[in-house]
A = this chain, B = another copy of it.
């Protein structure tokens, strides 16, 4: 049961490739070559390219959930500020990531219409992200920073949808300040009084 090129490595490498090149534009050969594994090992570990994608989506989702959780965890600053800082940080990372954006958002867009399994998986991961953010939104409502009469789920969805829209735009402009400003304006508009 010794796997030379363990799944972990292929997944994390392939994940980055999918992020930057997209799914249809990425070949198995390139995944293998980049990882340093061979096709035999790849197809021994995954039954198809699609299944590999589903595994990668899952891994990416878990990664992001723990990243978001960490970013949002309680510290000295207020909930609304932690939310703002999290989105700011996400945009700040884009230049270093060559503006690859978010894998989930990219795949929803590329395969949402044509691949049922992928669209279900990405929709599911999106919901996972919302589940991490919503408690902090509720906290901000309790702080009186967000209007408590508005559904916390609706606010959370608005926040993350806007984030994804601005992130997609950043991919083509290769510029992240507009995105940061857009998120800031949104959060300020949601601020009660």
Please list the residues of chain A having a beta carbon within 8 angstroms of any beta carbon in chain B: 20-22, 24-25, 98-101, 105-106, 108-114, 118-120, 122-123, 126, 150, 154-155, 157-158, 160-169, 171-174, 178-179, 181-182, 185-186, 189-190
Q: Offer 18 A-B interface pairs, CB within 8 angstroms, sorted by A.
A: A21-B114, A22-B114, A98-B113, A99-B112, A99-B113, A105-B165, A108-B168, A108-B169, A109-B110, A120-B172, A123-B172, A150-B185, A158-B189, A161-B165, A161-B179, A162-B162, A164-B168, A165-B168
Q: Separation in Å of the A175 CB from the closest CB of chain B?
A: 9
State how many copies of this chain the complex holds.
Answer: 2
Question: B119 touching A172 by the CB < 8 A rule?
Answer: yes
Residues of B within 8 Å of A168, CB to CB, are 105, 108-109, 112, 164-165, 168
Greatest chain B CB density within 10 A among A98, A160, A166, A172 is at A172
Once the chains are docked, how many angstroms separate the CA of A24 from the CA of B25? 6
Question: B174 touching A161 by the CB < 8 A rule?
Answer: no
Chain B residue nearest to A146 (CB atoms) is B189
Greatest chain B CB density within 10 A among A101, A126, A163, A168 is at A168
Residues of B within 8 Å of A100, CB to CB, are 113
Decide: A166 near B169, CB < 8 A? Known: A22-B110, A24-B24.
no
Question: A186 touching B169 by the CB < 8 A rule?
Answer: no
Residues of B within 8 Å of A189, CB to CB, are 158, 186, 189-190
Question: B105 touching A109 by the CB < 8 A rule?
Answer: yes
Q: Separation in Å of the A13 CB from the closest CB of chain B?
A: 17
Contact of A122 among B109, B119, B172 (CB under 8 A): B172
Once the chains are docked, how many angstroms separate the CA of A119 from the CA of B113? 22
Q: Separation in Å of the A65 CB from the closest CB of chain B?
A: 17
Chain B residue nearest to A122 (CB atoms) is B172
